[in-house]
Structure 1
Amino acid sequence: MSESIEQRKLILYIDDEPKNLSSFKAVFRRHYEIYLANSADEGLEIMEKIPIQLVITDQRMPRTTGVEFLERINHQFPDVTRILLTGYSDLDAIITAINKGRIFKYISKPWKAEELKETIDHALEIAELKKQNKILIDSLQKTNHELDQFVYRSAHDIRGPIANLLGLINLVKMENDVNLIRTYTELQEQTVKRLDSFIHDIVNYSGNLRRLVHKESINFKEILDKVLEGHYYTPKSEQITKETFVKQQGEFVSDKERLSILLSNLISNSIRYSVTNRFNPAFVRIEIESDETKATIKVIDNGEGIDEEFLDKIFEMFFRASPNARDGSGLGLFICKEVVEKLGGEIFVESQKDKGSTFTVEVPNLMM
């Protein structure tokens, strides 16, 4: 059974002989998506419009040789695999093709269908492996950069509260006033809670990096109720109206733990930056709708809002846009972005300073 057009590899064959073009297409059209050109210029026009994956070109052509063409496209299309056909014992041309045109292989004409197909498949397989390798290298470089930043900032953010605790402990030791001792003890408690929150975020970040996506059936109302219950004693929570709307159509499959972390961080963010001394009561509204293809999650609040100049930075590691963010770890929204990307989704934010924010998340149904 032949592959669908979407799955088939895109191959460009360039030759100034019409019979050769017809023969190539007749032999390989069932295996690949074939594009034909009778000159280097026509081939370049095709490549500028179509995402060609492999080019096969004859060496001897009028005006521009195969080697010259391959050298010409080298910078513009560096990821395209190249094969050179030559019917002449032209050693210099072959050496030039290898050095300048960066060809995968040269094949003597007349070509044999079975041999050429084997070469094409091998070339495409290697190209795919190189592509996957590049993705892995890019991902590794990103992870290493984030890890360096993470270690440096984590050490700083942990040392701060510890130094604060040690200072408060020494004050308590030297103090005889019961009221002052009580004040110092309350400050110690606040510092410990801040440190505990930071460690909690570190654990979530580490877990998201290491764990594979665990697919299971999702009950959004159940997850949301549990997350809200967990924020019952969060500071300012009792002063904020929570509104929820859940519309789940059919089964939805995703990672329950990651969705819980996502909702918890977004809701925690809305509570932390709520404004409770305005004429309009503070609120957080959570809307979740899902169907057989995706889930859309919205967390809406009328809190502090975010300055427009910071909107493109709020998902960065340790970024804090608000002066009230000193009690947070600076990891919450970064973890949200990492979780959403792990689930194959996207996260967006709309916000106006002093009016509030809307965070929108779209994640695919992994049952598909």
Structure 2
Amino acid sequence: MKPTLMLVDDESRVLEVLVKTFESQYQIFSFTGAHDALELLKRQPVQVIITDERMPKMNGMTFLKEAKVWAPNTVNIILTAYTDINVAIEAINSAVVYRYVVKPWDTDDLRTIVRQAFERYALVQENKKLTDELIAKNAALEQNLKQLKETQEKLLRQEKLAVVGQLTASIGHELRNPLSRIKASAALMRNEILPEEKEKKELLQIIDNEVMISTKIINDLLDYSRDRKTIFKSGNFNIIIDETLMRMRFPDEVEVVRELASDLPDNQVDEGQIQQILINLMLNAIQAMEYSGKIYVRTHHDGDAAIVEIKDTGCGISNENLERIFEPLFTTKPKGIGLGMCIVKMLIEKHGGTIGITSRENIGTTVKIRIPFHPNFMEN
């Protein structure tokens, strides 16, 4: 296929000479007016343009500036009379025009200029191609470096977690026993406190909160250091939620609002793991609200899966922290080790489910869990 050359001159005789000069070498598009030439460029860019400067309605410089919009890579040559040389020089300096040719021109010189224009076009295109390839390779290299860094960080976390697992196995159970005794003692003391002894009641609440946090840390460490098999049985999320809430002790200033769908079908689930998920999320909500606020627990289904939503009225999570919330050992809490949400996600994925989190700072957070139904328990 021949290279494409556009010729624009309002004088038909000049245009005819130009066409005869170049038609054997190039595919020619010739026009006596700039507007018609621009209409073609909107549909089909060309490689080189030769245009007269002095034309009615639209001069050559204006035409070439318009042409750059539709054909930015075109190499432009302008034909000018002696009196227009200053205009041509200004055009070259502004990078709109590659060369100018003074009328009347020497045919051999014009052929040489046009040949050089096509060579320039080819060089520019090759340079653009190489630049694009280099950008693509740099992008690929940056991606590879990013993946390498993430892999190294993951390996480092795994090494840390391996050490944590070894320590946890030896001390976890020993710590649980005294915490249980502290919790039981606090419960007994609460029964003996008179209604007017508010200060003692507040101190016992602090003990309860600290025991709750410490127990959660130990449980997270133990759960992460062992890979317990998931045992699926028929279960209903509404029942599991009720049982979980009965097991938990909430601070006096925390209100739990249940909105459980009455038509929720059963799932195939590991009830122990589901309870563990719910407890983790509830404790996170309590801490986010600083032990005062409302927790909304909702269930519904979309026909294919059970959906559980837990919403709190706490401090919320920033977008930056939200992106890292499932990373092991990532935490913004002064008391915590950053394994809770990692464990939650891991257990949900064992059920073939997904978890999503939306949050607004100083307003609250909503966690949405979706667990697919087992076909044997879908209602017709």
User: Normalising by the residue count of structure 2, what TM-score does the alignment of the two structures yield?
Assistant: 0.44
User: Normalising by the residue count of structure 1, what TM-score does the alignment of the two structures yield?
Assistant: 0.46
Structure (1 or 2) with the larger CA radius of gyration: 2
